[in-house]
Amino acid sequence: MFPTQSMGYDRAITVFSPEGRLYQVEYATEAVRHGPLAVGVKVETGVVLVGEKRSPNKLVDLSTLKKILLIDDHVGTAIAGLHADARKLIDQARIRAQINRLSYDEPISIQSLVVDICDTKQMHTQYGGVRPFGVSLLLAGIDDHGPQLYTTDPSGSFWGWKAAAIGKESERVRDFFVEKYNPKAKLDAALQLALDAIDEVSADTSKPEERKETLEIGMINSADMKFRILSDDEVEGILKTRIKPE
């Protein structure tokens, strides 16, 4: 992917290669592609996020690793890539959301929050002495425009999606969504689709009581417009009752 003769152009973030590429941004994108998978599905009644957690060591307590986090009452995010970089961006997003509430007495729109995050990401591709954020965020929430699902990448670009994936095997999952996604589905069906997408590329065949430690689920519905991260017991219950596709 990165020809040896072009490696001299990755010495600084501000240097373009002759092909017009910023190699430091592409390296950051590779960090995202090696991160554990996270998927999101948007339907008319809400949005679902599902993320996998992978431990670098068997002795790591997986409960201390967070794949899905709350930004504001009406929006949450899933991470793929470097968690330390994600922590910085999420802290900034939380502050931005609270400033909007204090200034305008209303929750921030999802797109405004995404643009603010991506402005920070883009700034770190433009100046010397910094490096790009090696993380992508999958943001899900509901605002005045209805359910919203966005991805942000290390370049500072963002896209709105009906169903999306970030992290390892994300390309395969997006192909899966192209075939299986139904915009008229209910929120429960969206959750099942997200879990099916994880199973499509995952080799994890452990029992629900074990797998609940490696999966996180967050969702928001149009009824209460509150983003909620499910407990381990709730995740286990969902895994026990779901019917896997043949």
Q: Report pLDDT digits (tens) over 59-115.
A: 888 888 899 999 999 999 999 999 999 999 999 999 999 999 999 999 999 999 999
Which CATH number characterizes residue 194's domain? 3.60.20.10
Confirm whether 190 is domain-assigned.
Answer: yes
Q: Structurally, how many domains does the chain consist of?
A: 1
Q: Report pLDDT digits (tens) over 134-165.
A: 999 999 999 999 999 999 999 999 999 999 99
Confirm whether 14 is domain-assigned.
Answer: no
Confirm whether 120 is domain-assigned.
Answer: yes
Give the model's pLDDT for residue 47: 98
Give the model's pLDDT for residue 199: 92
Confirm whether 246 is domain-assigned.
Answer: no
* Complete DSSP assignment for 175-240: HHHHHH--TT--HHHHHHHHHHHHHHH------HHHHTTTEEEEEEETTT---EEPPHHHHHHHHH
**What is the residue range of 70's domain?**
21-237
Whole-number mean pLDDT of the chain?
Answer: 91
Give the number of other CB atoms < 10 A from CB of residue 239.
Answer: 19
**Given pLDDT bands bounded at 50, 70 and 90, which one contains residue 10?**
confident
Whether pTM exceeds 0.85: yes
Confirm whether 11 is domain-assigned.
Answer: no
Q: Report pLDDT digits (tens) over 41-56.
A: 999 999 999 999 988 7
Does pLDDT of 193 surpass 80?
yes
Can you tell me the mean pLDDT for 30-41? 95
Give the model's pLDDT for residue 243: 62
Give the model's pLDDT for residue 245: 55
Confirm whether 244 is domain-assigned.
Answer: no
Confirm whether 4 is domain-assigned.
Answer: no
Task: Give the 3-state secondary structure of residue 165.
Answer: strand
Confirm whether 83 is domain-assigned.
Answer: yes
Does pLDDT of 246 surpass 60?
no
